[in-house]
Structure 1
Amino acid sequence: MQYMFGRFSHISIAVALLGATVGLQAQNFPITPGQKATATQVAQAGVPLSELAPNAPDEYTVKRGDTLWAISGLFLKSPWRWPELWGMNLQDIRNPHRIYPGQQLYLDKTGGRATLRTRQAAIDGPPTDVVRVSPRTRYESLADTAIPALAPNVIEPFLSEALIVDEATFAASPRIVAAQEGRVLLSRGDRAYARGEYSDGKTGKALSDAKGEPLNYRVFRNATPLKDPATKEILGYEAQFLGKAELVRGESSRQGSDDKAPAEIVPATIDIMVSKEEMRVGDRLVAEPPRELLSYVPHAPALPMEGQIVSVYGSAVTYAAANQVVVINRGLRDGLEHGHVMAILKDGARLADRTDGAKPQIKLPNERNGLLMVFKTFDKLSYALVLQITDGVKVGDRFVNPN
């Protein structure tokens, strides 16, 4: 995988959101026409002071451990509104992909409008586009020090562990059929045997070590149905991640010594490479997908969006707090995409009005409770990270556009 490092004399905080990825790779990500139009409009006049965060600093020096989400929140009331932040720098920055520790950001509030710059405005007059520079050598190590959009360790585990499939796909997936020496439980370093085909000849596909076939697999168990809280429709099945396995030999069949005897089935050989939990016969294998370099650009959906939380990730978890993951009942078919930010609404309680003699049932209003950001989408469901929260998030709580 090619690592790309660029040299930038001035770097915009907001367009840096466009280049923020999970991992150490840096790429140039496309800018949508809508985002470009918003930024251009803002760049012409700046941002109203009313849009700034109440305690927005006049200047800020980027530090190690910062995230773009947190820095955006220092200057704007709504951190996901990155086009405004980008537009404030549009004329100042020509190649804006990343920001680095040590860079200084200055907030210019002249004329009743706010402009964010990477150099301080002149004291005796308006900012000038003339910058005096002197030759210098800049060294960068291969360990990228750019500030990420969000702390990578928060999302990375779920990119490899979380899996939502439909029932038919999971039922036809390869499974572990035996272990060495009659073992019941398998862990890292153990050898086991698996099959992809089924006796009906129509279900599944034989595990093969031929060129071009996958050799690395994730191991899962217990595909739990995820139902829409409102319609009760099964939107998908969430599988429990157990670990990873490597295919050593593909499965085959061979004819016995007696020509009339049925062919002997020889299962595939796998080695357990990673073990989060112990595995056993019957656990399923899913081919390791290609590594994704995703751009987590926090932004509000362009169209109205609402839905409910279906599940809190983790079998023993009832309430989700900040930096925890939830499953929501909207996905690709609904227009949801990576980076979409939604406001969480706490479901108002239903109770009896004891001040009324008839004691009728009343429903308290839903109250805004925090923010979540989508980071992995499926057809009907998505995984989202809880970014900010006032109270715990539970199944059934609603979400809407943040604006």
Structure 2
Amino acid sequence: MKSQVALAALTLVAGILVTAPARAQNFPITAEQKATANQVAQAGVALSELSPNAPDSYTVKRGDTLWAISGLFLKSAWRWPELWGMNLNDIKNPHLIYPGQQLFLEKKDGRATLRTRQSTAEETPTNTVRLSPRTRSETLASDALPTLKSHLIEPFLAEPVIVDENTLKLAPRIVATQEDRVLLTRGDRAYARGQGDAALMDDPGSKQKAFRVFRNATPLKDPVTGVVLGYEAQYVGKALLVRSESTEESTGKDGKPRTDIVPATIDIVTAKEEMRVGDRMLPEPAQQFQSYVPHAPTGKVDARIVSVYGSAVVNAAQNQVVVINRGTQDGIETGHVMAILKDGARLIDKTDEARTELKLPDERNGLLMVFRTFEKLSYALILEITDGVKVGDRLVNPR
């Protein structure tokens, strides 16, 4: 139920009719999601869920995020789809909300909703946006408010990748450089080979194939069981396939015919770090429209933090990325919000003559949100934090 509400809310959350980008207009909304959105939007949230200092109105500013605005009005920011007023007849498929919009908090019969216009005392609160009889056309794609600050997670959508034990071993690899260069950078040409189905073959007439280049697959172990759940490959750059690998028939020095293996030709187009022979290549995935709508998991969650991204980092702080030991096979979705628990200390009860050992209760330490999922692991962004987060910290449902 929550996930359906959150997905529907992504495209239904605005209160202004605008010319949205094509990919936002084409974002699918099922009949079930529409029905769920209508039902929840009409109900609103209980007044007890409002923040004690929730304002009666707020004007959206540049730099705002949905998470930050929701935090102004709600105790639990991920519940914003329930608060937001939505009208599917008038607002068929806008993207998000935009700077300059004014939001009004309306309270009635013990419930609260957020609207884009203020009701008068004589009329029933409504989420309908009335437009004057004139034409106005704006392109607001670049001004649309994101759910959270996208620059915090964009690098992790393109750079690190979690793979199984054999994926990188079977992936195409760089086998040679021009003029016996040891290191490769942007603008250099190199040669690569694949194996079997991973052979580097070009498709005539199609777009030039792009590959991400990786090395050093680090094992990620479950902090509870010690089982390796996957391997995190280090992103070092990007390459384009220029010519397919092939074979050529020739004659050896002994006069006998032989078959020469000719590796594929690649050009390095992006270099985060210098590349070298032996680095592996994985196909560039198709670009997708990402939606990051915070919502609580529907089922019970009991997860752990596997690693803090960045080899030199021991404790994670707010706006840092961590890997958790749950993925799609466990029902984890993009946008799932979880509470971080700080492990309670173990100590001796000095007031007890028997000197009994005690373990203090785990205390809530903040919130994180999943933004990229794999089968057994997921990347998550720390949204709120009280104290440092470390490997092994427990994750549970946010309420």
TM-score in same-fold range (> 0.5): yes
Q: Which moved more, 1:350-359 or 1:269-278?
A: 350-359
Indicate whether 1:225 and 2:219 are aligned.
yes
Q: Deviations over 1:171-203 (max 9, x none)?
A: 100111111111111111111111113xxxxx6
Question: Residues 250 and 37 from structure 1, CA distance in 2 versus in 1: closer, same or farther, beyond 3 angstroms?
Answer: closer
CA contact (8 A) 2:318 2:383 kept: yes
Q: What is the rounded CA distance, in whole Å, between the counterparts of 1:115 and 1:215 in structure 2?
A: 49
Q: What is the rounded CA distance, in whole Å, between the counterparts of 1:128 and 1:250 in structure 2?
A: 61
Q: Which moved more, 1:227-236 or 1:312-321?
A: 312-321
Question: Residues 374 and 231 from structure 1, CA distance in 2 versus in 1: closer, same or farther, beyond 3 angstroms?
Answer: same
Q: What is the rounded CA distance, in whole Å, between the counterparts of 2:91 and 2:185 in structure 1?
A: 52
> What is the Cα deviation at residue 240 of structure 1?
0.4
Q: What is the rounded CA distance, in whole Å, between the counterparts of 2:228 and 2:237 in structure 1?
A: 26
Indicate whether 1:208 and 2:166 are aligned.
no
Indicate whether 1:240 and 2:221 are aligned.
no
Q: What is the rounded CA distance, in whole Å, between the counterparts of 2:147 and 2:121 in structure 1?
A: 33
- State the secondary structure of the residue aligned to 1:70: helix
Q: What is the rounded CA distance, in whole Å, between the counterparts of 1:130 and 1:43 in structure 2?
A: 12
Decide which of 145, 170, 173 is 2:168's aligned counterpart: 170
Question: Residues 344 and 151 from structure 1, CA distance in 2 versus in 1: closer, same or farther, beyond 3 angstroms?
Answer: same
Q: What is the rounded CA distance, in whole Å, between the counterparts of 1:138 and 1:313 in structure 2?
A: 46
> What is the Cα deviation at residue 16 of structure 1?
5.3
Indicate whether 1:40 and 2:42 are aligned.
no
Decide which of 47, 50, 60 is 1:49's aligned counterpart: 47
Output the amino acid matched with 2:201. S
- State the secondary structure of the residue aligned to 1:141: coil
- 1:302 maps to 298
- State the secondary structure of the residue aligned to 1:368: strand
Question: Residues 204 and 93 from structure 1, CA distance in 2 versus in 1: closer, same or farther, beyond 3 angstroms?
Answer: closer
Q: Deviations over 1:72-125 (max 9, x none)?
A: 111111111133113x44599643632111111111224443232211121455
Q: What is the rounded CA distance, in whole Å, between the counterparts of 1:14 and 1:76 in structure 2?
A: 19
Query: Aligned pairs, how many?
Result: 382
Aligned 1:43-122 pairs, distance under 5 A: 43-44=42-43, 46-86=44-84, 88-90=85-87, 94-95=91-92, 97=94, 98-122=96-120
Aligned 1:1-400 pairs, distance under 5 A: 17-18=10-11, 25-27=23-25, 28-30=27-29, 33=32, 36-37=35-36, 40=39, 43-44=42-43, 46-86=44-84, 88-90=85-87, 94-95=91-92, 97=94, 98-124=96-122, 126-127=124-125, 133-141=131-139, 143-197=141-195, 205-211=198-204, 215-258=209-252, 260=256, 262-356=258-352, 359-400=355-396
> What is the Cα deviation at residue 280 of structure 1?
0.9
Q: What is the rounded CA distance, in whole Å, between the counterparts of 2:42 and 2:359 in structure 1?
A: 45
**Identity fraction in percent:** 62
- 2:16 maps to none
Q: What is the rounded CA distance, in whole Å, between the counterparts of 2:31 and 2:220 in structure 1?
A: 33
CA contact (8 A) 2:59 2:99 kept: yes
CA contact (8 A) 2:9 2:37 kept: no
Which residues of structure 2 form unaligned runs of 5+? 1-5, 14-20
Q: Which moved more, 1:124-133 or 1:149-158?
A: 124-133
- 1:5 maps to none
Question: Residues 321 and 130 from structure 1, CA distance in 2 versus in 1: closer, same or farther, beyond 3 angstroms?
Answer: closer
Q: What is the rounded CA distance, in whole Å, between the counterparts of 2:189 and 2:258 in structure 1?
A: 27
Output the amino acid matched with 2:133. P
CA contact (8 A) 1:35 1:83 kept: no
Q: Which moved more, 1:347-356 or 1:178-187?
A: 347-356
CA contact (8 A) 1:220 1:285 kept: yes
Q: What is the rounded CA distance, in whole Å, between the counterparts of 2:152 and 2:87 in structure 1?
A: 30
- 1:6 maps to none
> What is the Cα deviation at residue 225 of structure 1?
0.7
Q: Normalized against structure 1, the TM-score is what?
A: 0.86
Output the amino acid matched with 1:43. Q
Output the amino acid matched with 1:250. S
- State the secondary structure of the residue aligned to 1:345: strand
CA contact (8 A) 2:12 2:86 kept: no
> What is the Cα deviation at residue 18 of structure 1?
3.9
Q: Deviations over 1:4-62 (max 9, x none)?
A: xxxxxxxxx99653469xx9942434368488447515624x43221111111000111
CA contact (8 A) 1:218 1:243 kept: yes
Output the amino acid matched with 1:171. K
Output the amino acid matched with 2:234. Q
Q: What is the rounded CA distance, in whole Å, between the counterparts of 1:366 and 1:131 in structure 2?
A: 47
> What is the Cα deviation at residue 365 of structure 1?
1.7
Question: Residues 209 and 91 from structure 1, CA distance in 2 versus in 1: closer, same or farther, beyond 3 angstroms?
Answer: closer
Output the amino acid matched with 1:243. G
CA contact (8 A) 2:8 2:34 kept: no
Q: What is the rounded CA distance, in whole Å, between the counterparts of 2:70 and 2:57 in structure 1?
A: 13
Output the amino acid matched with 1:160. A
> What is the Cα deviation at residue 141 of structure 1?
3.0
Q: Normalized against structure 2, the TM-score is what?
A: 0.87
Output the amino acid matched with 2:29. P
CA contact (8 A) 2:90 2:128 kept: no
CA contact (8 A) 2:8 2:29 kept: no
Question: Residues 253 and 33 from structure 1, CA distance in 2 versus in 1: closer, same or farther, beyond 3 angstroms?
Answer: same
> What is the Cα deviation at residue 160 of structure 1?
0.5
Q: What is the rounded CA distance, in whole Å, between the counterparts of 2:269 and 2:198 in structure 1?
A: 22
Q: What is the rounded CA distance, in whole Å, between the counterparts of 1:14 and 1:121 in structure 2?
A: 28
CA contact (8 A) 1:214 1:287 kept: no
- 1:8 maps to none
- State the secondary structure of the residue aligned to 1:116: strand
CA contact (8 A) 1:19 1:29 kept: no
Q: What is the rounded CA distance, in whole Å, between the counterparts of 1:24 and 1:368 in structure 2?
A: 41
> What is the Cα deviation at residue 356 of structure 1?
4.7
Q: What is the rounded CA distance, in whole Å, between the counterparts of 1:279 and 1:112 in structure 2?
A: 61
